[in-house]
Amino acid sequence: MSADLAFMSAVELARNIREKKISSLEATENFFQRIDQLDSQLNSYLTLCHDQALADARAADAAVQSGSDLGPLHGVPISIKDLELTKGVTTTMGSAWFRDRVPDMDSIVVERVKASGAIILGKTNTPEFGLSGTTENKLGQPCRNPWNTERTPGGSSGGAAAALAAGLCSLSMGTDGGGSIRIPASFSGLFGIKPTQGRVPRYGGYGQPAANHFSQSGPITRTVADAALLLQVVAGLDSRDVTSIRQPAPDFSAGLADGVKGMRIAWSSNFGYAAVDPEVAEVTKQAAKLFAGMGATVEDANLKLDDPFNTFWNIFATASYTSYGHLFDEGRNDLTDYGVKAMEHGRTVTGADLSRAIYDVDRLGRQMDEFFDEFDLLLSPTMAVPAFPIEQRPSVIGGRKVDPDWGFVPFTYLINITGQTAASIPCGYSSDGMPIGLHIIGPRGSEARVLQAAAAFEQAQPWAGKRPGVS
């Protein structure tokens, strides 16, 4: 079992497989050995695709030997969040209701991952229907953080992040409807990017016709270059998703070495409404200052926004009830407490409430568009706190009372509302050794710029060589 192979970047692994220096089968078997040894401590996977993955790896190696055309992720082992439908593989969506469901189709994302040549190792743990910022459900034990197994890895892509951070896959696909890529990336010392709304088609993602246009699938990776590569694979128009961006996706890798010289970058410690742990605020503030040393202009944005949570919650919860209310009505005892809470709220939202929320979405989108007329990027903490003990969500942050369910994610849901792109990048550690993430936010359509800035920060303050205790 090789830790060096397990933590090799996906870009490097793909190159080594193409050059016949490493076989896909060798890499895949190594990950399964590590999963067998380590995942009992983390519960990062819900379902493993052991036999199919090994067969696919052998086929990938045969294609290399025969000189066949190879996809950009040919032979590279990847994990898929269990909100994505996978043909012939159990897809639970983190719910006991679907513990035995085997779909007869792939989501668009899974279609594209397969077409890239990647090897799907399995489906990663997620809270029920992706409705929580931590990863507990009624399918089994909570998912745990490899930096400290008493702490949460975040959610809802908690299993995706835990598996990647521990070296149990080369890449992870997550989804983000209120922060669900960026939360676990921040908590687990990884890079994660939520693309612009519509950049990655979502048909077949949840498998239900939810009226939720906040969610995007996206990469969780150990390097920025890996994220650019995976985003290139899954981005682009698909007519089955009416929200899909019609313009071709840019080359996300092309500008990674261009730096940030000349960029106008704003910093905000709290958006004007967020309660933030002082240590998180200080670590992220110092990280933001590094961009000035790299040639950017960095200034305090002095943002004074109103907390948009009620707008987010009315739409998010309504979508939950629209998609899964039939389960709520049939047997709420089989649902999680947070699932019940979301659906109970969703079914009480009136047409007038929803109309006002949709108006607020438009208003906030315009407000942020105008902000980015003045700035290229906005920086903030990704999370209000470092990762906390499992099922002990903070009710007080920075001396202020907050809602335990959502108070620790005040920065992420705004970006889902406005449809913009944002990434979380590791920027330091708390006094007790837990990772802290810096939030890099760009206007709609600016994934390449966000990745460019993230790559510059990665070069200035590398993190990929640091490994958690469970690895």
Which residues are catalytic, by number? 81, 156, 180
DSSP track, 120-170: EEEEE---GGG--SS---SSSSPP-BTTBTTB---SSSHHHHHHHHTTS-S
Instruction: Measure CA 356 to chain center.
Output: 28
> Contact, 175 vs 161, CB < 8 A?
no
Instruction: Measure CA 173 to chain center.
Output: 7
Distance CA 137, CA 337 (A): 9
How many H-runs (helices) and E-runs (strands) does the chain carry? 14, 13
Phi, psi of 456, rounded to the nearest 5 degrees: -65, -40
Inter-helix orientation angle 10-18/224-234, to 10°: 70
Residue identified by tokens 């012939």 is 88
Inter-helix orientation angle 447-460/278-293, to 10°: 90
Distance CA 113, CA 229 (A): 11
Phi, psi of 249, rounded to the nearest 5 degrees: -70, 140
Distance CA 433, CA 435 (A): 7
Residue 123, both tokens: 């489906």
Phi, psi of 79, rounded to the nearest 5 degrees: -105, 150
